[in-house]
Amino acid sequence: MLVPYDFFAPHRIVFGWGRRVEVGSLVKSLGSRAFIVNGSRTLEANGTIDELCRLMQSAGATTERLATQTREPEVADVDAAVEQLLSLGLRENDCVVAIGGGSAIDLAKAVTAMATNRHGDSVKDFLEGVGRGLKIERPPLPLLVMPTTAGTGTEATKNAVISSFDPPFKKSLRSDLMVPKVVLVDPELTVSLPRDITAHTGMDAITQLIESLISRRAKPIPRDLCWQGLKLALPAMFELSRDLTNRAAREAMSHAALLSGMALANSGLGFAHGVAASLGVHAKVPHGLACAVMLPSALQLNRDVAQADLAELGRRCCRWLHGEDGLLPFKDDGSDDAAVAHVQAVIGTLNGRLGVPPRLSAIGVTREQLPAIAKSSRGNSMDGNPRDVSDEELLATLEQLW
């Protein structure tokens, strides 16, 4: 019997190479004035952001530059952007457009919610586990998002991750009302990404797909999305490790990232993401890099309880990655243990190709930080892990990885 489930997704998804030219009519369907949150200095410098604003204006929508966000958003960033938006006078038919990576999109999602929910003093009052427990009661401003990276999947989720360093935390602002109205995914916008951001965001997507697949909250539709996303993402990331300009690989990763967002929004995540959030707070490790470093440990911790799914992934990898240099041969009719080991070998090889360090000490984490990192790793992501991980086991894993 199938268990009952809900499924959340963006109201409209527009996907395709070059389809950013449609942004004007899409924005006009949401409102007549668009507040722009930008997260790409490269696209700003080469004129792409200006061109997108002209397309909106040509369609009859006025534009207001609200914020440029290139690092993970903090409480103060959200509060300042909301104050700026409100100072311009909130009108009927206003909307928000986010153009950038996960940081810009998360900021925009938080701003749309806080602009219409004024019963708190700060976004912190609404954050899970650290605020006053306030809820999003009124619909946020309509939001159109254009991801310029292929990894976080936040374009398709119902939460925004907001950080603080004093006191230290990274928590979600979450509501079913926060799912974007329109997601415009143009993979061409990702071609200018440098190697490190391509690697880190890509491994974030792969981690999300694997963790959502085996999550204790996994659901039927997201599981199918995970299988499709992994089929696209794993070969694509091997290809991008060789050629950053490969169009087919860029398209595959943009689509896989979108699928990963829908999967995690409905099924949750697991160990790697739980620790990754804490690594960002205590050691300022970029989120995607943290996920990439933690994924091998997550696979090892969960290999017994999630053996059936991981073994199936190993067998599928044999077909998806057939002929890939550097991967030891594995017969897809081998034992489950051998198939799971093959998944671990695939991820280890891919991390190596992408230049992801294998140890926490290599990404700026000190040994003295490990207890605090372990303590802060609890939360929504860790709750989705397919098995419980004790405090002692969590700390021991971090020490072994250090």
> What is the structure's pLDDT at 129?
86
Tokens representing 138 are 């009124």
- The CATH number given to 194-401 is 1.20.1090.10
Q: Give the residue ranges of the chain where pLDDT is below 70.
A: 331-333
Q: In angstroms, what CA-CA distances link 218 with 212, 214, 215, 379? A: 6, 6, 5, 17
Q: pLDDT tens across 304-341, in order?
A: 999 999 999 999 999 999 888 888 777 656 799 999 99
| Protein fold of 12-188 | Rossmann fold (3.40.50)
- Domain ranges, ordered by start, for the chain: 12-188, 194-401
> What is the structure's pLDDT at 166?
84
What is the pTM (predicted TM-score) of this model?
0.95
> What is the structure's pLDDT at 332?
59
Q: Which residues of 311-331 are buried (b: 16+ CB within 10 A; e: fewer)?
A: bbbbbbbbebbeebeebeebe
- In DSSP notation, 23-77 reads HHHHHHTT-SEEEEEE--HHHHHTTHHHHHHHHHHHTT-EEEEEEE--S--BHHH
> What is the structure's pLDDT at 3?
80
Closest CA to 34 of 75, 95, 83: 95
Q: In angstroms, what CA-CA distances link 54 with 62, 161, 347? A: 9, 30, 43
The angle subtended at Cα 232 by Cα 230 and Cα 236, nearest 5°, is 110
Q: pLDDT tens across 226-275, in order?
A: 999 999 999 999 999 999 999 999 999 999 999 999 999 999 999 999 99
Asked if domains 12-188 and 194-401 share a fold, the reply is no
Query: Which residue carries 């098995």 as its tokens?
Result: 387
